[in-house]
Structure 1
Amino acid sequence: MGMITAKEKQQEYYQALIEKDRNYDGIFFAGIKTTGIFCHPTCRARKPKMENCEFYQTAEEALLAGYRPCKICQPLSFPQAIPEEVQLLVKAVEEQPEKRWRDSDFAALGLNSTTARRKFKAIYNMTFVQYARARRMGLAFKEISHGSKVIDQQLDTGYESSSGFNDAFTKIMGNSAKKTAVHTLNASFIATPLGRMLCLTDDAYLYLLEFEDRRGLEREIASLRKKYNFRIIYGQTKLNQQVEEQIGEYFNGERTEFSLPLFYDGSPFQKEVWKILETIPMGKTLSYQDIALRLGDKNKVRAVGRANGLNKIAIVIPCHRVIGRDGNLTGYAGGLERKHYLLELEKAQVVSHNKQ
């Protein structure tokens, strides 16, 4: 019996959605393109056509795709009842989805910050910060995904100036106050077995390649926009296509090294660390202490760890190949499950190439 294809899985999920099959509650979430909401399979709302559905394994993926939770089936809480405090928080986020929350904002709603956060995590299986960030970033990511249609329409009518296109992140990060010339970066998404990756390029460099749910991604993007006065819009560049091709080859076991022009946004020390990371062969690892010793100071282990965490170009600059001194997997912002997957993938590739 062969493996189930992605199309067959979609058909299976759609059938479960139509039949309101309770066996699939919690297994997947359905994003409805026509309404912008995502639901549980058992939602009693009118069922859409299959071409208007997108299916996600987690609620965070649906949020990052720009969908908001359905008010009818309340997909994040199944099968539990939702406490009043949590309902209030979800409603407040929807009223201002671009907002960054502080403890004082909880007080303004008459909520105890610690209690409300704890209840939110217990019900939604994600922190409130994680939820609010995913909702914010989902709005920007939706702009990027939708941007291709907008730009195609404008180019069809002969309008080619990128200055007329909106920065996808303006709503949640604001405009740069700098008076210097704006530089445009093109944003697109790359599908991988570990989830979508956000890719930022221009014609010369790859600036950022990160999993869309990475901790700190919002901060990284804000830093780039502010520091270099970047405007980020949807766009396919030749370099972006090269990144997509090489990442695809990597996951397919067809590539052991990358050949991409990288923009290193960091201090001289951080750049030294990243250069060392690029020398770690596939299938091998170094500890933070190993890298500190290579830099000539065994006491810089923490500084190496910080530099490793500030890497904005995942996989290509292989920060996942850095482990703890005791051999434990530590400190990967993309998540330890991804780190384990990448290291195992690379070990298998090395074994395969050695047999050839």
Structure 2
Amino acid sequence: MCDSDASYDGIFCFAVRSTGIFCRPSCSARTPKRENLRFFPDAASAAAAGFRACKRCQPERTPSAPPEWIGRLLRHLEERPAPPRAEDLCNAGIAPARARRWFRRYYGMSFRAFCEGHAMSKALDALQKGNSLDHTAAEAGFTSLSGFRDAFKRVFAQPPGAADDLECVRLRWVETPLGPMVAGASDAGVCQLSFLGESDIDAELRGLRDGLGCAVLPGRHPFLDQLQTELETYFAGQLQQFTLPLHQPGTAFQQAVWSALQAIPFGATCSYRDIATAVGRPGATRAVGTTNGRNRIAIVIPCHRVINAGGALGGYGGGLERKRWLLRHEAATASAAASAPAPSTAAAAP
């Protein structure tokens, strides 16, 4: 909290007795004295205790919920063919520099790169559905076919005529109680799900692009819709098993480890040594830890369920507080499910 650490957002809130205000851990306001602090598990608890939400960090919002002006920008990109110009942003009351900073910080790319990627993602969809080149270029905001062809080739390394054979990973930024996550999916399945803020998202997306050998762009995909729905159900304590198809290429050893992770029962944990034994390599504990850390699909491939043999949490790419939260959440969900009354099996009346 004293370091405005965003990795604790969603884990707790803190309130300041002297001001009557409560904040999220990442709040940039001046740090109060320790004796004036009270801690709460969530915003609702702090509000119930009589504290008011900070207007700067807005702790009552979902940790990753984008501000209203970002929502307007995203709707613009969905509804209009051309991305907004600096003049359009100013007319809408949005400083272009603010948009650039926000997209760089939260999406790991510049606003211009996001707009271009979004346009090219929609263009690829249109061409694969049989739309004409002229119509697709105009819908993407281009005034010349040559400009569209150049942009398309720069993104996909192939001309528009090769669209039918192109693969692409579509990205979505997902709100969760533990902060924003970036999700990616191709036609083969979900291939990315990681927390923002703990890792270098630029490096992760470059690794994803290089590993799969295709463009990685903001866009829509049915698997992303399914993932978002299942994540919401999971965080609500109503889902224990994800049903999504996954696409995470790797060596035979890596695939064996990731499969073993998915076999860990919901609400349970095991050690790195247990996983090494399960894949037939009992002496490969260190290699299991390395492979665990290379898992690109957090939560769905539950690398957070692996702990040290002595009971310590071990490491986690999303941060140890998130790992602790996930384990507690799953244990509580499993316990609640086990104690719930069985559904009625009474026979129907003759």
TM-score range, shorter chain: 0.5 to 0.7
Q: Which residue is 2:3 aligned to?
A: none
Mapping 1:252-263, distance limit 5 Å? 252-263=236-247
Structure 2: gaps (5+ residues):
1-18, 31-54, 68-99, 127-133, 141-147, 341-350
**Residues 226, 276 of structure 1: CA spacing in aligned structure 2 closer, same or farther, 3 A cutoff?**
same
Q: Which has the larger radius of gyration?
A: 2
Partners of 2:312 and 2:200 lie apart in 1 by: 22
**Residues 22, 338 of structure 1: CA spacing in aligned structure 2 closer, same or farther, 3 A cutoff?**
same
Contact 2:237 2:333 in 1 (8 A): yes
What displacement does 1:220 show? 2.8
SS in 2 for 1:272: helix
Contact 1:204 1:239 in 2 (8 A): no
Mapping 1:87-106, distance limit 5 Å? none
What displacement does 1:158 show? 4.7
SS in 1 for 2:290: helix
Partners of 1:23 and 1:142 lie apart in 2 by: 37
Q: Which residue is 1:139 aligned to?
A: 109
**Residues 332, 178 of structure 1: CA spacing in aligned structure 2 closer, same or farther, 3 A cutoff?**
farther
Partners of 2:335 and 2:23 lie apart in 1 by: 40
Q: Which amino acid aligns with 2:326?
A: L
Tell me how large the CA RMSD over aligned residues is: 4.6
**Residues 330, 218 of structure 1: CA spacing in aligned structure 2 closer, same or farther, 3 A cutoff?**
farther
Give CA-to-partner distance per residue, 1:66-90, whole Å, 9 cap, x none: xxxxxxxxxxxxxxxxxxxxxxxxx
Q: Which moved more, 1:294-303 or 1:145-154?
A: 145-154
Give CA-to-partner distance per residue, 1:313-344, whole Å, 9 cap, x none: 00000000000000110110100000000000
**Residues 251, 24 of structure 1: CA spacing in aligned structure 2 closer, same or farther, 3 A cutoff?**
closer
Give CA-to-partner distance per residue, 1:202-221, whole Å, 9 cap, x none: 23311111112232543332
Aligned length: 244
What displacement does 1:295 show? 2.0
Structure 1: gaps (5+ residues):
1-20, 30-38, 42-52, 66-97, 99-130, 168-173
Partners of 2:332 and 2:326 lie apart in 1 by: 10
SS in 2 for 1:139: coil
Q: TM-score, normalised by structure 2?
A: 0.57
Q: Which residue is 1:300 aligned to?
A: 284
Contact 1:137 1:218 in 2 (8 A): no
Mapping 1:195-274, distance limit 5 Å? 195-274=179-258
What displacement does 1:223 show? 1.9
Contact 1:178 1:229 in 2 (8 A): no
Contact 2:108 2:202 in 1 (8 A): no
Q: Which amino acid aligns with 1:139?
A: M
SS in 2 for 1:299: coil
Contact 2:24 2:57 in 1 (8 A): no
What displacement does 1:178 show? 9.6
Partners of 1:189 and 1:222 lie apart in 2 by: 17
Q: Which residue is 1:47 aligned to?
A: none
Partners of 1:298 and 1:216 lie apart in 2 by: 32
Give CA-to-partner distance per residue, 1:152-195, whole Å, 9 cap, x none: 8998x95279887979xxxxxx9798999752211111110001
Contact 1:187 1:198 in 2 (8 A): yes
**Residues 26, 345 of structure 1: CA spacing in aligned structure 2 closer, same or farther, 3 A cutoff?**
closer
What displacement does 1:235 show? 1.2
